[in-house]
């Protein structure tokens, strides 16, 4: 299935529209986003493949999605560990952190040690608002993600990738290709360069908003909050 993509700028405008005239709160949208991330992980890496999930959270909304996903994964029976080195003062992220702490989900400060004792990884470091350079402490984290053999699910973007132009040609993310990607609401242009399993999540997109932004409403099945849209990488920028 080919889904149309949305630029970083339009994705930001769409979020703003959902939260203004659309009357959604960020709490709602992040709950549904994180829920879809947790469902994609479950479908990719069922409990039979191991219970331990390392969730790497960045300082912004991508990290918030990671915190919500970690909470849902706990309720599915996984054992999440959270790496969240740049914890924001943002009130929502603080509340999402409290919610996972109340489940006794551990936070780690040592990413490299945590990497040695996990079965799966969620890369929720940078999302569609990322641009520019990877700041400390993330360069060595992204290098480790690039080099590990443990399967990674990236949220909206492999962290350090340019949203429009894809993989960086230099820096810690050069050569970083996660096993799987979940695009929230709609794929970003970077999917053209992505090779791996590809999911889409965010089953709240109205037909009217999809029309306005030139997007497809994915054909989700049953009660699923995610849809696997195929294996990307069949070449030449074809989605």
Question: Least distance (Å) from its own copies to the CB of residue 206?
Answer: 5
CA–CA dist 194, 196 (Å, integer): 6
The answer to whether 22 contacts its own copies (rule: CB under 8 A) is: yes
Binding mask 163-202 for its own copies (x = CB under 8 A): ----------------------------------------
Please list the residues that pair with 153 across neighbouring strands.
122, 180
Strands 120-124 and 52-57: parallel
By CB under 8 A, is residue 236 in contact with its own copies? no
202 is an annotated ligand-binding site residue: no
Closest listed residue to residue 137, CA positions, set 147, 125, 148: 125
**In sequence order, which residues have a C-beta less than 8 Å from that of residue 197 and are 6 or more positions away?**
44, 179, 180, 181, 228, 231
User: In this chain, which stretch among 8-16, 71-79, 118-126, 167-175 interacts with its own copies, using CB under 8 A?
Assistant: 71-79
Would you say 222 is a known binding-site residue? no
The stretch among 54-62, 68-76, 159-167, 172-180 that binds its own copies (CB under 8 A) is 68-76
Convert 82-92 to b/e letters by CB count within 10 Å (16 or more is b).
Answer: bbbbeeeeeee
Determine if 107 is a binding residue for its own copies (CB under 8 A): no
- Could you tell me the two tokens for 100? 């996972």
Considering only 4, 49, 95, 212, the residue that binds its own copies (CB under 8 A) is 95
Nearer to its own copies, 135 or 219 (CB): 219
- State which of residues 16, 87, 94, 116 lies at the interface with its own copies (CB under 8 A): 94
Binding to its own copies by residue 120, rule CB under 8 A? no
Query: Minimum distance between the CB of residue 13 and its own copies, rounded to whole angstroms?
Result: 16
CA within 13 Å, CB half, 154: 29
Residue 135 DSSP code:
P
In angstroms, what CA-CA distances link 181 with 106, 158, 166? 25, 7, 13
Q: Roughly how many angstroms between the first and final C-alpha of the chain, as a whole number?
A: 8
What's the CA gap between 72 and 66, in Å, rounded? 10
Q: Which residues are annotated as a binding site for K(+)?
A: 62, 123, 159
Q: Which residues are annotated as a binding site?
A: 61-65, 123, 127-133, 156, 159
Binding site for its own copies (CB under 8 A): 22-25, 27-28, 31-32, 38-39, 42, 71-72, 75-76, 94-96, 98-99, 102-104, 203-204, 206-209, 220, 222-224
Q: Which residues are annotated as a binding site for (6S)-NADPHX?
A: 61-65, 127-133, 156
């Amino acid at each position: 299935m080919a889904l149309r993509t949305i630029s970083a700028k339009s994705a930001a405008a769409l979020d703003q529209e959902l939260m203004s005239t659309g009357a959604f709160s960020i709490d709602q949208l992040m709950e549904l986003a994180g829920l879809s991330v947790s469902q994609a992980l479950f479908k990719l890496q069922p409990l039979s493949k191991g219970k331990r999930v390392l969730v790497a959270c960045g300082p912004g909304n991508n990290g918030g999605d990671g915190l919500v996903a970690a909470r849902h994964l706990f309720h599915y029976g996984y054992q999440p560990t959270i790496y969240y080195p740049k914890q924001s003062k943002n009130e929502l992220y603080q509340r999402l952190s409290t919610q996972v702490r109340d489940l006794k989900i551990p936070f780690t400060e040592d990413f490299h040690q945590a990497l040695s004792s996990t079965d799966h990884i969620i890369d929720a470091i940078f999302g569609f608002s990322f641009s520019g350079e990877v700041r400390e402490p993330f360069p060595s984290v992204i290098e480790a993600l690039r080099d590990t053999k443990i399967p990674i699910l990236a949220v909206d973007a492999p962290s350090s990738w340019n949203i429009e132009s894809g993989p960086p040609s230099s820096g810690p993310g050069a050569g970083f290709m996660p096993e799987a990607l979940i695009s929230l609401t709609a794929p970003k242009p970077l999917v053209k360069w992505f090779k791996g399993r590809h999911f889409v999540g965010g089953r709240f997109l109205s037909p009217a908003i999809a029309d306005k932004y030139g997007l497809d409403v994915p054909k989700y099945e049953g009660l699923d909050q995610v849809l696997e849209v195929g294996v990307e990488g069949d070449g030449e920028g074809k989605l």
